[in-house]
Chains A and B, each alone.
Chain A
């Protein structure tokens, strides 16, 4: 019997993925193994083309893998049918994309509770209130996305990702489209969910500043995990990245 703390939120073992066939085949992931510990915010970094987005898509069940195994909260994802995988995404994974996170026809509040509505579940009111309070948007819940700023929209998206208390939240360049102040708000928000609520967060980013908010950073290059760093700061990450670019 294993203690709960030793079971990772996400576990990937020797995940391989390539696009195309024969001569033109491009290897995106060349055998990645990764454990994402529970309750931490993990940043996945790497230069463009390193496979970080592909890795996140595969981990989140949005894309298929060629070989390898991926577990979310102990559940094997590889080999599941569309229906089960959809249900898994709905109940156990939260998403924050770079842009276009919200449905324009729904209000902010409705967007937040969307995954619960899809599942036909009643929100845990205390948790819902907590999440909404944390976004600082309690007074804007009845607004449509078009009436919110970019930063506000991303915070709504974060709240939406958290509302189901998922095993893991995947954030794909969540601040890519934001100015630095709004970006900082969103990142602090994600950081606090991990630190205060013990929420596991996996964030893909190419921004050392963003990675500085994480508890741990893993570096990806050419489809392989090449390094990792605990307790990162923006400066340390920037330094590490520079060395990468020098070596390439």
Chain B
């Protein structure tokens, strides 16, 4: 039996090739993502252990929660007095304090440097300290506020040179400094692409940090003193809001921060790999189903000769196992190559990854093999069962498989699957459980696939109608697409999945854009919204300068950070002058007094008040990362407002609890009667020293937000392209197998006078109709998903629903064109058939 399987496999290798290619592509994505993240985490592990070489212990402020700024950590700077105390601890050979804060770089042309991801950091440089991780490669160490040392990578990328003058904006307006030196960071040209602007320690404190205090201390030990022992001795002399970490601990912490980002990236890629594999399963399923339908007589003969059902089923499963193995191995190998590609993609985004080996863990190999084989075999189970059910008597029958079985069973099963899917999807969205949402989506797709043959015939018939008006080729193509609704549906379903996801996120995107417009109209009172690229916080001096402009009536500076609020957990909090707030936002206070929001008081949005179950006057525990837990009183409850967010405290309350006192957004209202030109000129004057801040009026703000939404949509759509390509492979495969199956028909058509050109057109029409059917299914399902998403995200600010009409039309047109392309190969093959051979085929 096994030998027969093997022979069969070889005989059909070409037909299985496309199907295995689909699994291969999916697995390549899995493998690529794993290899990339493994390689990167190895690189960063190495990087941070190099950086921390020589440092035995690190001292920093305690954060009540979060280990990275990503998680909302915030640490009190370590005062000079603590540095002195630590330096006296027995076993300490040297201590340096360092500063490292986000800042803005102004290039020699006066423009603010816009980073595509890696931060711009203002840091301190300690001359001749063994603990300094920057090494000067050219030039000299910086001295004073007007001398700066720049990392080699930035020098290269921005075409800078020693002697040029650049600006930095940290705590204060623009500081111009001359580049005096070029430095490497540890073993590389930069810290993972970050721009480093180093000043002498007192200047760095003044420009970026806190005069008289350090962001962290690095301690070197005397020989023979263990890191752990030294850490314990140092911890003993520290005040209670500072902590000491061994070098191993801080390496792990720093590395974890980056790995967290990488994990997100990995999950992101794995989701797309999952979608691709899911689509690939449809292809496998369809290919095996068709091959088995074509081999009915052969299988029946085997049964007649005494093969058991189990043997027949096993022979098909062994076949799928072989396909799975081959495609997994291929995918694994292709993925290693893909990882290199992903890496250059990151590089293209300006994220310089330190050089390092490509790490291929055994785990990657095992995951690829297991996933690839499981996916393939699982997809082949139903066809295999169908093969096992072939009765021996069918060997004697003339006709092929019966094509028109009742669809009642399907309708019921499909409806059930769809119901379960929708239920899971909706409840998953309501609870915010992502796994449940994914499961719901999978079930919905399966449900639609199972049920779609029921309406495939009429819909495909309708889609094919325009073609059948044109000529006989169109009419025949339409008929072929309609003749086997199951096959048409499964083929179209593969395309549906990718396009449904595109339609869903496009719906979300267009709704989000419409919501921004609505939010600006209903919630924003300000004439101008000012912020930096990527909303990096900026100096409060900007707001101070703006307030001096007589044409500007109100300047509201918003500071943004995180705090843990009651049972709501980690949340975003804005600090703003409550009086100014009333002017720049159309904020409706429902109860309490927002304007008189005092110390230790909190204003809460309607939704958050409901979530917390609080009203004005109630007390809520609020934990700030730097200052710990305090009880706050709810001072006001306001109606939901996009720009106000969930929680507001007064600017002074914010400043008392947060280290980095920088503004994220400044909203400006001009005086009554000022023309737009006058008010804009006033804002520009106020921001003369802050070229890093963008000036946007309401219309510009709306457009900018829309552009940002679009660019995210484009990236996601681009990644979904993989699954769409796989689905197109599915169409090619279905058509190719149909051509084989219908050889005699094609021969007959040619005999009675159908030209090759017409034959090709016939196959093209079938392909286009199937593709557009898939795209239509996808659009309907996707818009449904999108609607569910928009409804679920109502409280997150997606208040409006908008159909992405343009994108939908694009998708349908692209699907139709894809159909034309997919038909090319099978059509060529069909046209090449020799008429006589085709007729003679028994």
Give A residues with C-beta under 8 Å from B.
Answer: 57, 62-63, 82-83, 86-87, 89-91, 95, 97, 100-106, 114-115, 117-120, 160
Interface residues as binary, B466-490 with A (CB distance below 8 Å gives 1, 0 otherwise) = 0000011001100110110000000
Distance in angstroms between the alpha carbons of A118 and B483 in the assembled complex: 20
Query: Which residue of B is nearest A117, CB measured?
Result: B472
| 5 pairs from A and B in contact (CB 8 Å cutoff) | A86-B753, A91-B753, A100-B744, A117-B471, A118-B753
Taking a contact as CB atoms under 8 Å apart, the answer to whether B749 and A62 are in contact is: no
Interface residue? B750 (CB, 8 A): yes
Of listed B482, B752, B755, residue having the most chain A CB within 10 A: B752
Residue of B whose beta carbon sits closest to that of A120 = B471
Task: Report the separation of the CA atoms of residues A12 and B158 in the bound assembly, to the nearest whole angstrom.
Answer: 84
Contact A90/B479 with A62-B839, A100-B744, A120-B471 known, Cβ cut-off 8 Å = no
Residue B751 interfacial (CB < 8 Å): yes
- Per CB-CB distance, the 4 closest pairs between chain A and chain B, nearest first, are A90-B753, A105-B479, A117-B472, A89-B753
* Interface check B745, CB cutoff 8 A: yes
Do A105 and B482 have beta carbons less than 8 Å apart?
yes
* A62-B836, A105-B476, A105-B483 known; A118+B748 contact, CB < 8 A: no
Cβ distance A66 to chain B, nearest Cβ, rounded Å: 15
Give the docked Cα–Cα distance between A87 and B471 (Å): 16
User: B752 touching A95 by the CB < 8 A rule?
Assistant: yes
Closest to B479 in A: A105
Closest chain A CB from B338 CB (angstroms): 43
Given A86-B754, A115-B753, A119-B753, does the pair A103, B748 have CB atoms closer than 8 Å? yes
8 Å CB contact of A117 from B475, B744, B755: B475
The complex places the Cα of A238 from the Cα of B228 at a distance, in Å, of: 112
The proximity string for B residues 747-769 relative to A, scoring 1 for CB distances below 8 Å and 0 otherwise, is 01111111110100000000000
5 further interface pairs, Cβ-Cβ under 8 Å (given A97-B839, A117-B475, A118-B758): A63-B836, A106-B476, A114-B749, A115-B753, A118-B749
Determine how close the nearest CB of chain A comes to the CB of B748; give it in whole angstroms: 7
Q: Check if A62 sits within 8 Å of B753, measured CB to CB.
A: no
Q: Is the CB of A87 within 8 A of B755?
A: yes
Within 8 A of A (CB), among B197-211: none
Number of interface residues of B (CB under 8 A): 23
Task: Decide: B483 and A104 in contact? CB cutoff 8 A.
Answer: yes
Contacts of A90 in B (CB 8 A): 752-754
B536 within 8 A of A: no
> Which chain A residue has the least Cβ–Cβ distance from B841?
A100
Find chain A residues with CB under 8 A from B755 CB: 83, 86-87, 118
| Interface pair B751/A89, CB less than 8 Å apart | yes
Q: Does B719 contact A (CB under 8 A)?
A: no
Within the complex, the shortest CB–CB distance from B254 to chain A, in Å, comes to: 67
Which residues of the other chain, B, contact A118 by a CB distance below 8 angstroms?
472, 749, 752-755, 758
The answer to whether A114 touches B750 (Cβ under 8 A) is: no
Contacts of B472 in A (CB 8 A): 114, 117-118, 120
B835 at interface, CB cutoff 8 A: yes
Q: Does B752 lie within 8 Å of A62, measured CB to CB?
A: no
- Residues in chain A near residue B483, CB distance under 8 A: 104-105
Most buried by B among A57, A86, A104: A86
Give bound CA distance, A102 to B752, whole Å.
11
Complex Cα–Cα for A90 and B754 (A): 7
Contact at A103–B475, with CB atoms within 8 Å? no
A91 CA to B479 CA in the complex, in Å?
24
Is the CB–CB distance between A87 and B756 below 8 Å? Answer: no
* Residues of B contacting A102 in the complex (Cβ-Cβ under 8 angstroms): 748
Closest B residue to A90 using CB positions: B753
Q: Closest CB-CB distance, A2 to chain B, in whole Å?
A: 28
**In the assembly, what is the distance between CA of A104 and CA of B754, in Å?**
16
Nearest CB in chain A: distance from B81 CB, A: 91
Give CA–CA (A97, B751) in the complex, Å.
Answer: 10
User: A105: which B residues are within 8 A, CB to CB?
Assistant: 476, 479-480, 482-483
Q: How far is the CA of A117 from the CA of B473 in the complex (A)?
A: 9
A119 to chain B, nearest CB (A): 7
Task: Give Cα distance in the complex from A105 to B758, angstroms.
Answer: 17
Would you give the shortest CB distance from A159 to chain B, in whole angstroms? 12
A57's partner among B475, B749, B758, B836 (CB-CB below 8 A) is B836
Residue of chain B at shortest CB distance from A146 = B399
List chain A residues, Cβ under 8 A from B475.
Answer: 117
Distance in angstroms from B359 CB to nearest chain A CB is 56
Q: How far is the CB of B751 from chain A (nearest CB, A)?
A: 5
What A residues does B836 contact at CB under 8 A?
A: 57, 62-63
| A87-B839 Cα distance, complex, nearest whole Å | 18
Contacts of B751 in A (CB 8 A): 62, 89, 95, 97
Known: A100-B748, A117-B472, A120-B471. A87 touches B479 (CB 8 A): no
